[in-house]
A and B are shown apart, each in its own frame.
Chain A
Amino acid sequence: MLDNKQIKRLEAEAVNSAKTRQPLYAARRKIFPKRTSGRFRQFKWLVMAITLGIYYLTPWLRWNRGAFAPDQAVLIDLASRRFYFFFIEIWPQEFYYVAGLLMMAGVGLFLITSTVGRAWCGYTCPQTVWVDLFLVVERAIEGDRNARMKLDAAPWSARKLFLRGSKHAIWLAIAVATGGAWIFYFADAPKLLGEVLSGTAAPVAYGTIAVLTGTTYVLGGLMREQVCTYMCPWPRIQAAMLDENSLTVTYNDWRGEPRSRHAKKVSATGQAVGDCVDCNACVAVCPMGIDIRDGQQLECITCALCIDACDGVMDKLGRERGLISYATLADYNANMALATAGGANPVDPALVRTASGGFVDGLAHFHLGKIFRLRTFIYLGTWLAIGLVLVYSLLTRERLELNVLHDRNPQLVRLSDGAIRNGYTVKLLNMIPEPRTIEVTLEGLDGGEMSIVGIDQAPSRSFSVPVEPDRLKTLKVFVRQPAGQIKKPVQRFEFRIEDNASSESAEYTASFNAQENGR
């Protein structure tokens, strides 16, 4: 018999050992953001009112364009492929204006992020605005944070059922209104509203309302912060977009630490005490449910509500505001170095305070000049350049255009008198909502004459063609040149169109083939 100790223990561990096993998935931790008030909360109400106002009211604005175009100020007319924006009308081939606007939106987002951080996320992102709106409803019905937590923990009762039921009913109503407003951008709003209410609108309208109702209700009411944390790519791009001079919502450890619930007692023992009283107000108001005192993190949308909450506490304590504030990483690092004596010690608030309780002079504070740096100028310059190019191109763009396609099969036709005939498809683009008469003229090509299918006129070098408002007119044009005047296998000539009323004109250089494959 061997002793236990004589049996060697092998270095082995089960692969699914409970010590190292991770849960595969985790339930969402419920968040009950507390109501707060302050400067940033005021500003957010204002932004919410403006953004929701723009979203809901824009389709109802009217803009007179005359008898031949819709009078809705902003309209995406998919059926006739036109986009109207106040005095601007865009045809599908002018989609580069939209591409330009998207580029401006992208560069603008970089500009904003590099200066004031995730302001888009915190204030204007639809997800943020609608979650804010849904929270207003939730607070109005179920009460503030503590009441909501209590209700959530309570067993189901008639009261809980009623409160929850009415909350979800109002959320759904908002969601329907959100989805409903969207469709008005794509058709005449007053007419469509009548159709939707009477049940005669197109199925796609109801489908769109249903889909957007679903997404609004689920994303804004149920998913909330999960959308930002798990579904949105933007928080992940932040690491690349923010730099040490970008403003972010920052907990200023250098004046807050060491935090204490019993400042006076601790202070009496001669230990260092920071401004943070560890009241957790910043955590309770956070719609993302995080603790800003852990530092900058992916989940923070910089809505600044923790600043309001903390400022309120500081006011009550009679200390300066700004324990949590918008600050740059550079300022924060400089002040931290100051407060920790270059990182050697833990934070000592005494190092940043004068004897009278004010801050020392060497403290870094944010000033507007920090916004102006090469990077932001490059963004601003790019943004302005794209904008100016768009405006210039918009102001100088042609509203009368022509396209010409030479027949390829056959390239040419020899006629009985020896003349050569070429066929062309000529497209006239009348891009204004008024009917016009366009003069189509042949320039060059000695002795050449044209005839247009469907226009009863003897061959000539000039035709008057009526064009409908805001429409493209396709003409089949035959050009013939007498045998004696053909000089080269391929001759160049111009189709010229002109609107005599407005003296707008356009030209197209086409080729006239007198020989197969003549090139």
Chain B
Amino acid sequence: MSTQYIDDMSGVSTTGHEWDGIRELNNPLPRWWVITFYVTIAWAIGYTIAYPAWPMLSSATRGVLGFSSRGEVKNEMAAAEAAKTKYVAAIKSKSVSEIAGDDALREFAVSAGGAAFRVNCVQCHGSGAQGSKGFPNLNDDDWLWGGKMEQIQQTITHGIRFTADGDTRQSEMPAFADVLQPEQIAQVSAFVASLSGAVKDKSMSEPGAKVFAENCAVCHGENAKGNREFGAPDLTDAIWLYGPGEAAIASQVRAPKGGVMPAWIERLGEIKVKELAVYVHSLGGGE
């Protein structure tokens, strides 16, 4: 430090930093630059007074402007709610079919219903509404209780086998383990499996047809097309809620399972239920 290097060319001293012979001139800063620097400091102090900043023991200073990011979110949410009121009012006053008939309203209902679906329905029906064993796929065209928009609305509103709701969709397939002989169960399973595929063993499926006519046709229909009054599935199609194949069918004949879906009207209210009905109908399988 004792000897200061003075640059020959400019006659200005250097900062003492050197990189491969390149030195940095120690020119004075412009005064306005220094003033600007102090202004930014003053600004920063003012900013911490105006806005929440200084941490205290259990909270932080609130700032004299009263700004809070939670408050901002609240305002934005309120503004978003206000922007939706027009659509929400229309959805409240119209039937689901009328909603679906109006392009703008349908678009709104589909996205609002989609959001509600992702919160309330995906736990059973899956994130893509594709279902799983025992939980129906809502994308396909096979409906236990009907795929019209009003029918879907009815299902969501009151649920299925949800005893707390008096209007719930109710049905129960009896367990045939005590009614039919194991031989008969095997025969009827072979018959049902043959309805949607090739006949494997006539000696089984032909007597099975008789067992079916006597025991099953009451609910599933003589042609096994099912009955939506009782939520009795169509046994002739390619879709199997509890799995395809004779073994899965036999298990369902012996000790049938029936899923329970809660009634959503209490929890979500009429508007959300309508939006959900429109959304589910829009997935591609609606009738």
A226, B28: Cβ atoms closer than 8 Å: no
B32, A28: Cβ atoms closer than 8 Å: yes
One of B29, B30, B128 near A410 (C-beta < 8 A): B128
A-B contact pairs, 12 of them (CB 8 A): A22-B13, A25-B28, A25-B34, A26-B28, A223-B32, A407-B128, A410-B129, A415-B142, A416-B141, A417-B237, A421-B139, A453-B284
One of A11, A24, A421 near B28 (C-beta < 8 A): A24
Q: CA separation between A185 and B39, bound complex, in Å?
A: 33
Collect the chain A residues with CB atoms within 8 Å of residue B33's CB. Answer: 25, 230
Contact with A along B195-237 (1 / 0, CB 8 A): 0000000000000000000000000000000000000001001
B137 within 8 A of A: yes
B130 within 8 A of A: yes
Contact with A along B103-130 (1 / 0, CB 8 A): 1001000000000000000000001111
One of B4, B13, B31, B284 near A478 (C-beta < 8 A): B284
Q: CA separation between A25 and B26, bound complex, in Å?
A: 10
Tally of A-B residue pairs with Cβ under 8 A? 79
* In the A-B complex, the 9 residue pairs with the closest CB atoms: A409-B128, A416-B237, A410-B130, A26-B28, A413-B139, A418-B238, A25-B29, A416-B142, A410-B128
Collect the chain B residues with CB atoms within 8 Å of residue A27's CB. Answer: 31
Collect the chain B residues with CB atoms within 8 Å of residue A13's CB. Answer: 2
Contact with B along A405-434 (1 / 0, CB 8 A): 001111001111110010100000000000
Q: Which of A416-459 contact B (CB under 8 A)?
A: 416-418, 421, 423, 453-454
Q: CA separation between A330 and B165, bound complex, in Å?
A: 97
Q: A25-B30, A28-B30 are in contact. Are A413 and B130 (CB under 8 A)?
A: yes
Whose C-beta in chain B lies nearest to the C-beta of A23?
B28
Collect the chain B residues with CB atoms within 8 Å of residue A24's CB. Answer: 28-29, 34
Collect the chain A residues with CB atoms within 8 Å of residue B128's CB. Answer: 407-410
A15 within 8 A of B: yes
Q: Which of A1-45 contact B (CB under 8 A)?
A: 11-13, 15, 20, 22-28
A476 within 8 A of B: yes
Min CB distance, B17 to chain A, in Å? 14
B239 within 8 A of A: yes
Collect the chain B residues with CB atoms within 8 Å of residue A409's CB. Answer: 127-128, 130
Contact with B along A34-61 (1 / 0, CB 8 A): 0000000000000000000000000000
Contact with A along B8-22 (1 / 0, CB 8 A): 000001000000000
Q: CA separation between A15 and B4, bound complex, in Å?
A: 10
B32, A414: Cβ atoms closer than 8 Å: no
Collect the chain B residues with CB atoms within 8 Å of residue A226's CB. Answer: 30, 32
A415, B140: Cβ atoms closer than 8 Å: yes
Whose C-beta in chain A lies nearest to the C-beta of B12?
A22
The total of chain A residues at the interface (CB under 8 A) is 32
Collect the chain B residues with CB atoms within 8 Å of residue A478's CB. Answer: 284
The total of chain B residues at the interface (CB under 8 A) is 30
Q: A24-B29, A409-B127, A416-B141 are in contact. Are A423 and B239 (CB under 8 A)?
A: no
Whose C-beta in chain A lies nearest to the C-beta of B130?
A410
Q: CA separation between A357 and B238, bound complex, in Å?
A: 109
Q: CA separation between A409 and B130, bound complex, in Å?
A: 8
B282 within 8 A of A: yes
B141, A415: Cβ atoms closer than 8 Å: yes
Whose C-beta in chain A lies nearest to the C-beta of B29?
A25
Q: CA separation between A409 and B127, bound complex, in Å?
A: 7
Q: CA separation between A416 and B284, bound complex, in Å?
A: 13
Min CB distance, B12 to chain A, in Å? 8
Whose C-beta in chain B lies nearest to the C-beta of A423?
B284
Collect the chain B residues with CB atoms within 8 Å of residue A410's CB. Answer: 128-130, 137, 139
Q: A410-B130, A415-B238, A418-B238 are in contact. Are A26 and B29 (CB under 8 A)?
A: yes
Other A-B pairs, 16, CB within 8 Å; known A24-B29, A453-B284: A11-B2, A12-B2, A25-B29, A25-B31, A26-B28, A26-B30, A226-B30, A409-B128, A410-B128, A413-B139, A414-B238, A415-B141, A415-B239, A415-B285, A421-B284, A454-B106
Min CB distance, B43 to chain A, in Å? 15
Whose C-beta in chain B lies nearest to the C-beta of A229?
B30
Q: A453-B282, A454-B106 are in contact. Are A414 and B34 (CB under 8 A)?
A: no
Collect the chain B residues with CB atoms within 8 Å of residue A26's CB. Answer: 28-31
Q: Which of B131-163 contact A (CB under 8 A)?
A: 137, 139-142
Q: CA separation between A442 and B234, bound complex, in Å?
A: 32
B1 within 8 A of A: yes
Q: CA separation between A461 and B142, bound complex, in Å?
A: 24
